[in-house]
Amino acid sequence: MLDMIDLLGHSGYDLRSSIVLTYSLDLPLYDGLLRRALNRAGIWNQITFCDFSCYVQDTHAHAAAPYAGKHYSVTPVWQKGAFHPKVYLLLGPRHGRLLIGSGNATVGGLIRNAEVFGLFDYDADQGAGPHRAFQTVFTFVEGLAGYASEPVRKQIKSARQMAPWLASPCVEDGRRVLIGGPCMPSLLDQITTILPVKQVDDVVLCSSSFDRALDGLKKLAATSRSKPVCIVQAEHAEMDGKAVRKLGQAVEWRPFVDPYPKEKRKRKDVRAHAKVFIFGHGKTETCVFGSANASEPALNSMNTEVVVILPPRLKGEIVKHLGLGPSISAQSVEGDLIEKHWKDSDGDSDEARYTCLLSAVAAAEFGFRLTMASGSPPEGALLALAPHGLARPNATTAIRREGDALTGRRVNGDDGIRSAWIVDGSGKVLSNPVIVTWPMVASPRKGGGGGAKSTQFLPAMQDGAVLGTVLFELLDQFRDFEVIQAGTGRGGGGKRTAVGSEGPAQEQSAEFFYTDHTADAAKGHQWTGDRVDLDILASLVQPLGPIGNGDATEDDSYDDTKLDEEAEFREIAEQKGVATGGERPRRNETSSEKFEAAILRLERRLDRAATSIEKSLQNLENLQSPSPNGVARQIWMTHIGAFLAGRKTVSADGDEFTCLHPWYFADYVLRISRALVGSKKIGGFLDRLGNSSWEGYDGEALVRGLAFLWTCVEWAAAYMVHYYSNGEGKEDVPKNIAVASAELVAARLIWKISSRCSAPDRDGLARRFPAWTSVPANQMERTSRRLAQVVQLIQCVEGLGGTSNLGAETQTASLKAGTLVHNPLTGVTMLATDGAPRAYQLVHLSLAGNDPKKFGAVVFPVLFNGKPYRLFQRTDGVAAMQHS
């Protein structure tokens, strides 16, 4: 089993440069986890290439990646097909490590999915030359420099200079690296040329994607005397059932059966993302694995793909050690596939959305230099510069033509500039946004003193041990967050074996098919939790930044990531660039003072996330498609918050602390729920997600997250009703409208997501959600019953469009605050204050801010059993819950 994060961050080698080639790039994951892992390995020269379309989507929310463009570069590759490789190349003066496989630089690709990777290592002290794969991949990367900015080209040049052994005579071990792409020979032709026979006896393959007509599969079938066996995860693969039916008996369809040992299996949602082709010929077989699916674009080199082809092995060996036997012997899933429907894209392509496509903007002494992927900016076009994504520009500067170059002047205060795009004179967006690449990205970074601010905050922030073992229990249970494994610093990478390594195949087990790890399975490593863990998890759940003011909610006083990195760099520098993996501080005891600081930081992070998404509501009507990742992270934050809410821990001083007070968690849940669903006509952020956001692996993860949010919002409503009615806050009035309207917010969320989720996720709440019992059982039961009634009313009035549950508008003036009413704009909502003739103050959840909206007419009571229905509300200082 490969632990990808461990392999990248704890090689034991002297490494200086990294080059990542990926289709999808999760910027917050890279910024919060991969960058740190590579830094601990001594790597400061970090280069990333990704697919252009994926890049455009992710840069809309890259405020969660503050080091992008400064500590590492990201270059999008625009081409007719997809830029689809998954390559991780690490280089140093005398060492190298290369991983080629099927996993993207995302949580799924590196942590959660079932993936296959091949490992190549080089150690000059061993005497042998480097494997040819290093030279093959690096030469390909040098060709990609044409897509890149000047700082990135300098990075690539520096990478070669720091690894002179790349020019050394190569060695072979039977493995070959093949690259397909535009202007290259067909990838399938390259593969079949290497096979020992012109036509193989049989083919077994795993693929996660296919082309609609299954032409790629047909070409693979043509290479074999017998029909291929195709292992597919039917519930997740996009297929056209008509094409499957038309193919008939030409392919045997088998389900993916999880090969992970049952006694260790904890996941219920294994994702089969590996791409493997096994060609049988006589008593031997040849295995090909990497990034290429069994699709026409992958096999005909329309897409850019990188695969590894292994030397022949004994027949059945690969199937055995990948644990694919149960899949092959399982019953056919052809019937399930025939029922599937191909989902056509409902969005415009990048070419259609923008007048021109921007590949890079690099800062230089004179200003900014633009690199175009396609098209050219018109005369009079401006370069917009902003803190992130498509936020309101801090400044614009005229684009000038200097020969073949496009440039823009520097502007005052450009330190806060993170992204750039092209606009016309009226401010209309003409191109996609890109992360600005700064010259420092190509310069060595050395550790240094943190100054007065570092001295002030370091003692309070160095240790977030409040999250120590608690977080790792969470990570062990929820695979999506299992992101950290701290190495002991002992042992080198040369002892590891993988698919395609020189090690004997029989030494592998089915477990190596995964990139995840559990605490009890880790051998030779120590699982630790410190303040870095909070930063990484928080980076995965950063908020949707306000479009109008990207830095409005930045909490500079708690930006402690820099402090930790300086400490790491200092220790690496003292070791002359060699990182052992032990640089991160480990503490077994934590003082009460540090617990207090860590708890306060977590509370502030939650408040920042909620505040940011609330402020973003002001641009909701003009927002066509928010980042699905940005929305999903808001939802998945509930897993972290729920796990910590109400959980007790003891400091080294013997003081007991609550990791997160339940009020802060309930506040967060209600506030993001309000922003996710909003009111009727305008809606919320969930309404802005395209259909594709609900498909595939990410769509299923989103649905599962919503199912748990359902549980959390029901609890949050009950908690706040009790808190402000009979609890500690009975004399207080909440400042936030989402908290003041807790039952309304919860009911609207439940109604909205019930079409996606069949039921709330309440599995294992004793362990996952200790604050669940902080609400009295009778209050929880009562709130659940009331929410079900309100959801039923919303469905009748809004879902079915019925009027039988609406009273006369003349009744509204005499209704009390908290009474359910209906308005065509807000849908089912409630009065924020007592009714008055032609002056109705309604709760409008789609508006930024906490003030109700005034309506003069078209406000009707919503009736339950013929009577007005009153909810809990505290918008006008009512001291107790209102009863129906």
What are the tokens at 438?
A: 């700064």
- Please tell me the pTM assigned to this model: 0.65
pLDDT value, residue 807: 87
- CB–CB of 134/168 below 8 Å? no
Per-residue model confidence as pLDDT tens digits over 773-796: 999 999 999 999 999 999 999 999
Query: Is residue 856 packed enough to be buried (19+ CB in 10 Å), middle (13-18) or exposed (0-12)?
Result: exposed
Rg of the chain over CA atoms, in angstroms? Answer: 28
Q: Which residue has the higher pLDDT, 365 or 772?
A: 772
Least confident of 233-237, 342-346, 451-455: 451-455
Q: Which residues, 6+ apart, have CB-to-CB distance to 620 below 8 Å?
A: 678, 682, 683, 684, 685, 688, 846
Worst-scoring range by mean pLDDT, 33-47, 120-134, 284-298?
A: 33-47
In this prediction, residue 618 carries a pLDDT of: 84
**Which stretches does DSSP call E strand in 181-263?**
202-206, 229-232, 252-255
Output the DSSP codes for 126-143: GSSPPBHHHHHHHHHHHH
For the residues 618-631, what does the mean pLDDT come to? Answer: 68
Transcribe 341-377 into DSSP letters.
------S--HHHH-SSEEEEEEE-SSEEEEEEEES-P
**Contact 43/16 with Cβ under 8 angstroms?**
yes
Q: CA 167, 172, 175, 177: dihedral to nearest 10 degrees?
A: 20
Q: Distance (Å, rounded) from C-alpha 167 to C-alpha 186?
A: 27
Digit-coded pLDDT (tens) for 106-148: 877 887 788 999 999 999 999 889 999 999 999 999 999 988 9
C-beta of residue 380 within 8 angstroms of C-beta of residue 397: no
Residue 586 pLDDT more than 80?
no
- Whether residue 734 is predicted with pLDDT greater than 50 in this model: the reply is yes
Torsion of CA 188, 191, 194, 200, to 10 degrees: -80
- Name the least confident of 227-241, 646-660, 737-751, 852-866: 646-660
Per-residue confidence band for 632, with pLDDT thresholds at 50, 70 and 90? low
Average pLDDT over residues 556-564: 35
Query: Which pLDDT does position 626 carry in this prediction?
Result: 62
- pLDDT tops 60 at residue 744: yes
CA distance 350 to 348: 7
The pLDDT of residue 478 is: 37
pLDDT in tens, 330-355: 999 999 999 999 887 655 666 678 99
CB 38, CB 30: distance < 8 Å = no
Mean pLDDT, to the nearest integer, of 254-279? 76
- The pLDDT of 483-492, averaged and rounded, is 27
Question: What interhelical angle do 662-677 and 742-753 show, nearest 10?
Answer: 60
Assess whether pLDDT exceeds 90 at residue 160. Answer: yes
For residue range 78-116, list pLDDT tens digits in order: 999 999 999 999 999 999 999 999 999 987 788 778 899
Q: Cα separation of 265 and 272, whole Å?
A: 15
C-alpha span between 557 and 555 (Å, rounded): 6
> What is the C-alpha to C-alpha distance for residues 147 and 564, in angstroms, rounded to an integer?
34
Q: What is the DSSP letter of 286?
A: E
Distance CA 789, CA 104 (A): 45
CA distance readout (Å), 104 to 116, 497, 570: 11, 21, 31
* CB-based contact 860:812 (threshold 8 Å): yes
* pLDDT for res 833: 86
| pLDDT recorded at residue 802 | 81
863 DSSP β-pair partners: 868
Q: Identify the band that residue 413 occupies on the pLDDT scale cut at 50, 70 and 90.
A: low
- The predicted pLDDT at position 2 comes to 62
How far apart (Å, rounded) are the C-alpha atoms in residues 642 and 689?
Answer: 25
- Average pLDDT of the residues in 519-539: 34
Strands (DSSP E) found in 598-751: 648-650, 656-658
22-26, 287-291, 340-344, 543-547 — which is least confidently predicted?
Answer: 543-547
**Encoded amino acid at 668, one letter:** Y
How many Å apart are CA 391 and CA 383, to the nearest integer? 13
Tokens of 179: 């690259």
DSSP string, 492-542: -GGG---TTSSS-GGG--GGGGBS---GGG--SB-----HHHHHHHHHHT-
Query: How high is the pLDDT of residue 343?
Result: 81
Distance CA 163, CA 277 (A): 33
Please tell me which of 142-146, 804-808, 832-836 the model is most confident about, judged by mean pLDDT. Answer: 142-146
Matching residue, tokens 């990531």 = 561
- For residue 53, the one-letter residue type is S
> Can you point out the beta strands (E) in 24-116?
45-51, 72-77, 87-91, 95-101
Inter-residue contact 584 to 530 (CB < 8 Å): yes
How many CA within 13 A on the CB side of residue 700?
A: 11
pLDDT greater at residue 593 or residue 478: 593
Structure tokens at 784: 């659940």
Torsion over CA: 514, 519, 521, 524 (sign): positive
| 535 alpha carbon, distance to own chain's centre | 15
Residue 839 identity (one-letter amino acid) = A
What is the SS3 assignment for 816?
coil
pLDDT for 538 equals 43
| Beta strands, E only, 426-487 | 434-437
Q: Give the span between the Cα atoms of 397 and 384, in whole angstroms.
A: 7
Say if CB 151 and CB 75 are below 8 A apart. no
387-396 confidence digits (pLDDT tens): 877 678 888 9
For 191-223, letters b (16+ CB in 10 Å) and e give bbeebeeeebebbbbbbbbbbebbbbbbbbbeb
Q: How far is CA 783 from CA 235, 714, 718, in A?
A: 36, 8, 6
What whole-number distance in Å separates Cα of residue 68 and Cα of residue 437? 8
Cβ-contact 694, 703 below 8 angstroms:
yes
Strand partners, 287: 278
Could you tell me the two tokens for 463?
A: 């240790």
Tokens (6 digits) for 765: 């709440």
- pLDDT confidence of residue 524: 30
Please answer whether residues 515 and 111 qualify as being in contact, where contact means their C-beta atoms are separated by less than 8 angstroms. yes
Query: Cα–Cα distance between 256 and 230 in angstroms, integer?
Result: 9
CA 820 vs. chain centroid, Å, equals 38
Q: Are the C-beta atoms of residues 471 and 180 closer than 8 Å to each other?
A: no
DSSP 93: S
| Element spanning 35, H or E | helix 35-40
Non-local CB neighbours of 388 within 8 Å, separated by 6+ positions: 61, 62, 63, 418, 419, 545, 550
Q: Tell me: pLDDT of 403 over 90.
A: no
Stretch 681-687: mean pLDDT, rounded? Answer: 88
Torsion, Cα of 289, 292, 294, 298 (10° steps): -150
Q: Is 611 exposed, middle or buried (0-12, 13-18, 19+ CB in 10 A)?
A: middle
For residue 221, is pLDDT > 70? yes
**Residue 564 — very low, low, confident or very high, per pLDDT cuts 50/70/90?**
very low
| Residue in the block written with tokens 């919060």 | 32
Residue 39 tokens read as: 């830094």
What does the pLDDT read at residue 270?
66
Arithmetic mean of pLDDT, 391-420: 85
Q: Residue holding tokens 């003409």?
A: 430
pLDDT of residue 347: 59
In this prediction, residue 147 carries a pLDDT of: 87
